[in-house]
Chain A
Amino acid sequence: MNFNQDLFLTFFEKMYLIRRFEQKVYEFAERGLVFGSTHLEVGEEATAVGTLLNINKEDYLIATHRGHGQELLKGTDVKNMMAEMIGKDAGVCGGRVGSMHVADASVNNLGAQGIIGASFPISVGVGLALNLLGDKEKILISFFGDGASNQGNFYESLNMAELWKVPVFFVCVNNQYGMGTAYCSTCNIEIHKKASLFNIKSDYEDGNDVEKVYHKSKELIDYVRTKRLPALLELKTYRTIGHSAFDKHPYRTKEEIEDWKKKDPIKRIEATLTSNGVPLDTIDDIKKKVEAQIQDAADFAIKSEYPAYTDALEQ
């Protein structure tokens, strides 16, 4: 197989950007700058990057409560993302909601719900709207977690997505846990098989292999876009940190975590790059570029003001 260096460098840069973004948010959380909780996707970067590199700017996104990478890859400015994380008025939602609920109309990001499972029916509705509008080009990419697939509205939505033939690409980020609960203790059927039961084209892939995620999702996205039918991709991955910033995740064994750290998607892509002769300097340059971007964003966020209350907020 020939090696597409540019594509692999893009994989690396985008995954590294998410990783550093998440680490910066964690640092902010440790400094007490993040209000409420924040859900980071360290270890899961390949799922956002591999899928969203196949998505157009005009396509719609519904992200999860663990969605910073999804939101960044859809095109939201890193600075405005960072400012939202710490509740500043320059944040993409005016600093009102923070980490869990980023919406960005300028890139057709429709917003993330903090109510697990709430995104499924909304996704069907977005697909329905595209159909009603006679749109033959745009699709919705809708992310969800393994735990969310146990909510009743998942099944209702699968049924109606197929019944109404909506152009929605459902992506399950199966990190194998919902909070402290292992998926295997909550359901005895694999998630992509649940979609198959409703005659929805579905597949699964190693979610820590960005190249595989990229190719598999390209195939499914082409299918959704051209056939105007739903599809579902389950990506098996792992968050190598806690559910929320300060969760010390005692519900998992050290061995399990260490095992998955060995499969870290960024380490893997770095190895692929070097084994294909990409000079270390090239990799370092990307790291420096990302580092500068993150630092700029962090400075920008810190310097921004907290939002001021006005009576206009009353509804």
Chain B
Amino acid sequence: MREITYSEALREAIYQSMKSDDKVIMIGEEIGQGYAGVFGVSKGLYDEFGPKRIIDTPIAENTIMGAAIGTSLLGFKPIVEIMFSDFISVCFDGVLNQAAKVRFMTGGQYNLNLVVRLPGGEGSGTGPQHSQSLESLFMTIPGLLIANPSNAYDAKGLLATAIDAGDPVLFFEHKKLYKTKADVPQEPYKIEFGKAKTVREGSDITIVALSYMVSVALAAAAELKDKYGIDAEVIDPRTLVPLDIDKIATSVKKTSRLAVLEETYMRGGIGSEIGSIICQKYMDALDCPINKIASKNVPIPMPPSLCNEVIPDEDRVVQEIRGMF
């Protein structure tokens, strides 16, 4: 099969959706002309589809989001690019109070096809306002779907699903993944939301890992096996909302141990949510306390000397997991 990068896979999903459905449009800063996507995702799309479908905007996230909601109400399927996921703060009202609530507040008369693409995560020194992982912040809000592709294959299939999911999707990408490659079929395909994937089978512990942290979990799992004989199962939820708790629970019943690995802040993180559900329903399956491995409660710093301490890496994961045995 053909190997392409994560950004190429995203572009292909957008391209194919735009070809087959003329309601799909893109709105954002520097997506058409200029940079053609700061992470290169929309490269070439402006030449192909023109200014009516690849809509460049001034620096105005609030109106970008509002305009996307407006077009969606009239049947378009906008894909918004927020240049760095941190900037979603500027259009938080549209996300939280309008987009998320349209279906409920109109009694289902209206619903939105609307994707908000959010490049997130630490990206070699981008600092406190350009490096955050904010998934957990949005996970609390009913009405939003949340996708977190960890590789190029998932990126294409999840984005294709997101574009006409029928509800707004926050689509969290990761800066460190854009150049990573995977086998990706040329033909269009969709990946159903709420279906987690077991990316490594194991019998001793379940590690639920998200986005870029999937690769960190896999590296740690290899080391745990080689050096310490610990056989970890790694599960990638792929979408946080809806969350495939059944798959996680099935794995925990087999391994009796659970660690949740994420780049979001520790406090109120994804580990807190998954951990509490597992405790509430499957306490009996656990042999030891659940371990939350997340970024420390510190704004993401710039220099590696600090980042490496704040954000989980392979060494920390290995150490944390060993501590559970």
Contact = CB atoms under 8 A, between A and B. Distances in A.
B119 to A, nearest CB: 14
A306 B303 CA distance: 8
Interface string A303-315: 0001111000111
Interface string B119-131: 0000111111110
B296 A87 contact: no
A150 B59 CA distance: 6
Contacts of B137: none
A101 B127 CA distance: 9
Given A101-B127, A179-B34, A179-B35, A96 B60 contact: no
Contacts of B62: 151-152
A265 interface: no
Q: Is the interface of B mostly helix, strand, loop or mixed?
A: loop
A233 interface: no
A147 interface: yes
Contacts of B314: none
B100 to A, nearest CB: 20
Contact of B127 (A97, A186, A315): A97
A180 B86 contact: no
B302 A87 contact: yes
A95 B301 CA distance: 9
Interface residues of B, number: 38
A98 B57 CA distance: 29
Given A150-B58, A251-B34, A97 B302 contact: yes
Given A150-B60, A152-B62, A315-B297, A307 B127 contact: no
B127 to A, nearest CB: 5
Interface string A95-132: 11110110000000000011111000000000000000
Given A97-B301, A98-B302, A117 B129 contact: no
Contacts of A315: 297-299
B132 to A, nearest CB: 11
B309 A36 contact: no
B203 interface: no
Nearest to B91: A152
Nearest to B297: A314
16 contacts: A35-B127, A36-B302, A87-B302, A96-B301, A100-B129, A114-B128, A150-B58, A150-B60, A152-B60, A179-B38, A180-B30, A251-B33, A307-B303, A309-B305, A313-B301, A315-B297
Given A306-B305, A313-B298, A313-B306, 10 more contacts: A36-B302, A95-B303, A98-B125, A151-B61, A179-B30, A181-B33, A181-B56, A186-B59, A306-B304, A309-B305
Interface of B: 29-30, 33-35, 38, 56-63, 86-87, 89-90, 123-130, 296-299, 301-306, 309-310
